[in-house]
Structure 1
Amino acid sequence: MYPNLYYAFRDLLGIEIPFLKIFQTFGFFVAIAFLAGAYILTRELKRYEALGLLKGIPEKITTGLPASQGELIGNAVVGFFIGYKILGIFFQWDTASQDLQAFVFSSQGSLFAGILLGAAMAGYKYYTKKKAALPQPKEQVVMVMPHHRVPDIIVMAAIAGLLGAKIFHNLENWNDFVHDPIGALLSFSGLTFYGGLIVAAIVIISYARKRQFNIRALIDSAAPALMLAYAIGRMGCHFSGDGDWGIYNSAYTIDTNTGHTVKMAPANFTDVVQKNAGFFQQQYASVEQIPHAAFEKPGALGFLPDWLFAYGYPHNVIKEGVQLAGCDGQYCKVLPTAVYPTPLYEIIVCLILFGILWGIRKKVTTPGVIFGIYLILNGVERFFIEKIRVDTRYDIFGFHPTQAEIISTLLVIGGIVLISIYRKNNTAANKLS
């Protein structure tokens, strides 16, 4: 696993760049997910614009104005933060190099570098705006197309999505949140996708209504982008080892000397648990409460690696497990017995589902139906992966679903309802015409 990009570069390229320790692998893939989603969304919005289903809105803009006070202050604040923290790493290297992540989230930094870069960025903004200023500012009307709004949409989706993901995760794990609220809010792990999806959807749809978007065309445009972004985001979960893995596969164990997956008889699972009692007792009151299911790689799939069926997530970012032999450093833990690598399964399945949505998007002509199909595919995928995932379960009239199972079921139902309504409305409209 690669807790941050430093470990990835060291392992894959043999290059050690300590500065890369501040870039978390999970955050890197989240950024890539947003960029990929923005690219696909832009392409789809342009296609719907060409079909006449999305239209631009004329807006007045003023050119030739000098830099405003707000622009200068904004640039100064951003410059100060970058200088104080990022450049501060080099000014205080002896301290920062010990734990770069802790340094970034501490109050430490370089006041001199912050003031210097803040003043430089504010000065540059003032200079560029003054150079382009006109004696008499001009007003002109420009046509702003929906695809021009993608940067705004992505920023809002990122903020609302991350906030929603954190809120839903902490609601699902309330006891952990109460025990350490600051740590829970600032940790790089602990994000619930559906929480992010719900909150971001509310914010984006509200924004789209104000901008007079065709909502059905917008959500259809977003469907493939959402599926692709989710698959890439799961890459961050898998490659960082953020704890979003499955239950234990009791047909395999882990060699704590190497971190490699090793086959074992399912009957030996109890022996492994007893051998690593210190780890398991921190999480489970008894052996019976440890979620596990044995599934050995079928003989017909013998060419596939064992870690596809069971994995120990060595060097995981949340530092969970037992000590890896011969490892020194911050991330030296490996799970004592193998789990199902569910993020890897979701990566594979969601990339396939993205391909399906991308392939049918031009064939489905009823607005809103593509998004309904997305809801169904997403809900079904998540519902079944929950069967081998570790999640908090609720007690509802004798049933014990997870939060994701409840929401995924509602998404499937919602997708069916949307498709039925939109197809019915489309049929009625065609009869009237």
Structure 2
Amino acid sequence: MTTFAYIPSPPVSTFSIGSFPIHYYALTMIAAIAAAACIAGARWKKMGGNYDQILDITICAVPAGIVGARLYHVITTPERFFGPQGNWVNIFNLRQGGLGIWGAVLLGGLAAWAWCRHKHYPAALLCDAAAPALLVAQAIGRLGNWFNQELYGAPTTLPWGLKLNETGNSIGSQEQCYDGATCPTGTLFHPTFLYEMIWNLIGAALLIWIGHKAFRQLKAGALFTLYIMWYTAGRTWIEYLRIDFAHEILGLRVNVWVSILVFICGAVAFAMVNRRGKPVDLLSEKLRTITELEERRAVVHSA
């Protein structure tokens, strides 16, 4: 049966400036970081901070997040680096792909928390400012998977199925079903990158809306716990569709188990934050005071 509607894959995943290759995946990561910093910065400023503070936090969090993302990939697929066919040196070769969002959020978040503690910023406010920004960044980052032709789902006949290129050196160019067989030429696949993009953008809009509507009902940090629950709920069902190789525990992909456990932690954290957390207004006033002191010191030092 001929399929008349589908989502095409990009013909290339890189371009060159002189002899230096530029990967579209890397460009989407840069765009994602920039978008997250802009959105979080605007929200942080409304809470009493300024963009310089967000820039400092970003400089701390991004490198830590990249390290965490890579470590998560290494830990969950050790055979690629330490197995009979592996090479541990490839741990440092990010051009081969392999970044895990869980490690990025964990180590990046810890770095941001450490900087907030050092500067006495309310970390709970930063979490709320960053929550929708992270979802937008994750949505943009999924475009990199489209360029790489990776992380797609099972074969489908739906009109929005993903058509992989039959030529080229992209990850999905061979149209592998990941079960030891090659799918027939022209097979379409669930565009799981697109599903996650849409899910994340809807979540970002919902978090902003909830923040406006329930500003005085939610304690500081509650929006971030909602971000955790929203993302992991979506990631759970999206993981069920994916057919790329992944280790399994009791018949479920590792990332499915991680999503379920993190969702539960997010739900518990939501209840605890709203029971024991501090009001947003109170922490916003503290942040304004700290920001004013920093700005005065900057004026004195520049005089």
Q: Same fold (TM over 0.5)?
A: yes
Residue type of the alignment partner of 1:156: C
Does the 8 Å CA contact 2:60/2:115 hold for their aligned counterparts? Answer: no
Say if 1:401 and 1:150 are closer, same or farther in 2 by CA, change over 3 A: same
Give unmatched runs, 5+ long, in structure 2.
1-9, 176-182, 280-303
Distance 2:30 2:236 in 1: 26
1:373 to 204, 214, 226: 226
- Cα deviation 1:331-385 (Å, max 9, x = unaligned): xxx9954432211211122111111112222223221111111011011010110
Distance 1:177 1:380, change over 3 A: same
1:321: how far off?
Answer: 1.4
1:140-179 correspondence to structure 2 within 5 Å: 145=49, 147-178=51-82, 179=86
**1:406 to 2:257 alignment:** yes
For residue 320 of structure 1, report the CA deviation from its aligned partner. Answer: 4.7
Aligned partner letter, 2:164: G
Kept in 1: contact 2:57–2:112 (CA 8 A) = yes
Give the alignment's Cα RMSD to 1 decimal: 2.7
Instruction: Report the structure number with the largest CA radius of gyration.
Output: 1
Counterpart-to-counterpart distance in 2, 1:146 and 1:18:
36
**Percent identity of paired positions between Structure 1 and Structure 2:** 23
Deviation at 1:234, TM superposition (A): 0.5
Quote the Cα distance in structure 1 between the aligned partners of 2:55 and 2:222.
25
CA offset at residue 317 of structure 1? 3.2
Number of equivalenced pairs: 254
Aligned residue among 244, 248, 253 for 2:151:
244
| Matching of residues 41-56 of structure 1 within 5 Å | 41-49=40-48
In structure 1, C-alpha distance between the alignment counterparts of 2:100 and 2:11, rounded to whole Å: 21
Instruction: Tell me how far apart the structure 1 counterparts of residues 222 and 76 of structure 2 sit (CA, whole Å).
Output: 31
The amino acid across from 2:42 in the alignment is R
Report runs of 4+ in structure 1 exceeding 6 Å deviation: none
For 2:28 and 2:207, locate their aligned partners in 1 and report how far apart those are by CA, in whole Å.
22
Normalised TM-score (structure 2): 0.75
TM-score normalised to structure 1 length: 0.54
Q: Cα 1:384–1:32, aligned 2, differ >3 Å: closer, same or farther? A: same
Q: Does 1:424 align with 2:285?
A: no
Instruction: Determine helix, strand or coil for the equivalent of 1:190.
Output: coil
Q: Which amino acid aligns with 2:194?
A: L
**How far off its partner does 1:148 sit?**
1.7
1:309 aligns with 2:170: no
Q: Secondary structure at the match of 2:36?
A: helix
Q: What aligned pairs does 1:333-348 form with structure 2 within 5 A after superposition?
A: 336=185, 337-348=187-198
Residue 394 (structure 1) aligns with: 248
Give the residue type in structure 2 aligned to 1:388.
L
Partners of 1:363 and 1:381 lie apart in 2 by 23
Counterparts of 1:39 and 1:353, CA distance in 2: 18
Tell me how far apart the structure 2 counterparts of residues 32 and 340 of structure 1 sit (CA, whole Å): 25
Residues of 2 paired with 1:423 and 1:387: CA distance?
Answer: 32
* Structure 2 residue 214 is the aligned partner of structure 1 residue 353: no
Three-state SS of the structure 2 residue aligned to 1:23 is strand
Q: Is 2:96 the counterpart of 1:182?
A: no
Query: CA contact under 8 A between 1:27 and 1:236: conserved in structure 2?
Result: yes
SS, match of residue 377 in structure 1 = helix
Partner of 2:283: none
| Displacement after TM superposition at 1:393 (Å) | 2.7
Which residue of 2 is the match for residue 296 of structure 1?
157
Tell me, in whole angstroms, the C-alpha distance in 2 between the residues paired with 1:400 and 1:160.
32
The one of the two structures with greater contact order (alpha-carbon pairs below 8 A, sep at least 6) is 2
